[in-house]
Amino acid sequence: MKIFNNDILIFIGDNRCDYRSLLSSKMPVTVDRFTIHQHKMIKMEQTASDIIRYVDKSQAGSGFMAELPEIPLADGMITDCPNIFLMVRTADCYPVIFYDSVNKVVAVAHSGREGTKLNISGKMIDQFINKFKSSPENIHAIIGPGISEAHYEVDEDTFKDFVAATDLPQNYRKLDLLKVITKQILDKNIPSVNLQFIPECTYENQNYFSFRRDKTKNRQIALIGIINE
């Protein structure tokens, strides 16, 4: 999925643009007419948390350049700096992309079971509102491909813990992360028309990496950035 919204570029990929090949090849990502070089990308550690980091141009290349390690202990990044591109990597967890095209703020979140349980999407929207003075009606979100409820069965303790934390009913021992993430976003008064989905299950669709299906170490990537060149 490729989107240009005014000066905001969004790319949500599948296994044709895989993380491990990208890291080893040092090659850029091409999105239509635009080339994103690795020294402009930023990746985070992704530790299944609700930690969100503000990043700027001084961190461009983090996780790709030898002298710049990935952003530590983070599962979300947000910026208002142009010409840097925030990356999230997934293989069953949900990538959630956010932007305010009026105030020119962009963000990514890694929302797996733990991040969803901790409401990282809701906390990201709080960052937009509190730090950047965004209005909810100007905040947009895109939920990328992730594992569907049908293929996400967990043990009873994990199930009960998740339901208690999210306060949303689930079918027994099945987790519907998409349902929870959607509610977390809409609960922040984001208009439903501002929420988009890529309705693909990573477990079912062989065009996506799935850890639960294949125990893969590879990931598809998603990127967002503000273009001002």
pLDDT computed for residue 228 by the predictor: 86
**2-226: what fold?**
CNF1/YfiH-like putative cysteine hydrolases (3.60.140)
Radius of gyration of the chain (CA): 17
- pTM score: 0.96
Q: Compute the mean pLDDT over every residue in the chain, rounded to the nearest whole number.
A: 96
Give the span between the Cα atoms of 30 and 190, in whole angstroms. Answer: 31
190 pLDDT tier (thresholds 50, 70, 90): very high
The answer to whether 228 and 83 are in contact (CB under 8 A) is yes
The answer to whether 104 and 84 are in contact (CB under 8 A) is no
pLDDT computed for residue 1 by the predictor: 64
Percent of the chain with pLDDT over 70: 97
Q: Where are the domains of the chain?
A: 2-226
- Section 169-191 average pLDDT: 98
Q: Where are the beta strands (DSSP E) in 84-138?
A: 85-90, 94-100, 105-111
Three-state DSSP string of 156-181:
HHHHHHHHHHHCCCCCCCECCHHHHH
Give the span between the Cα atoms of 107 and 88, in whole angstroms. Answer: 10
> Model confidence over 77-118: pLDDT tens digits?
999 999 999 999 999 999 999 999 899 999 999 999 999 999
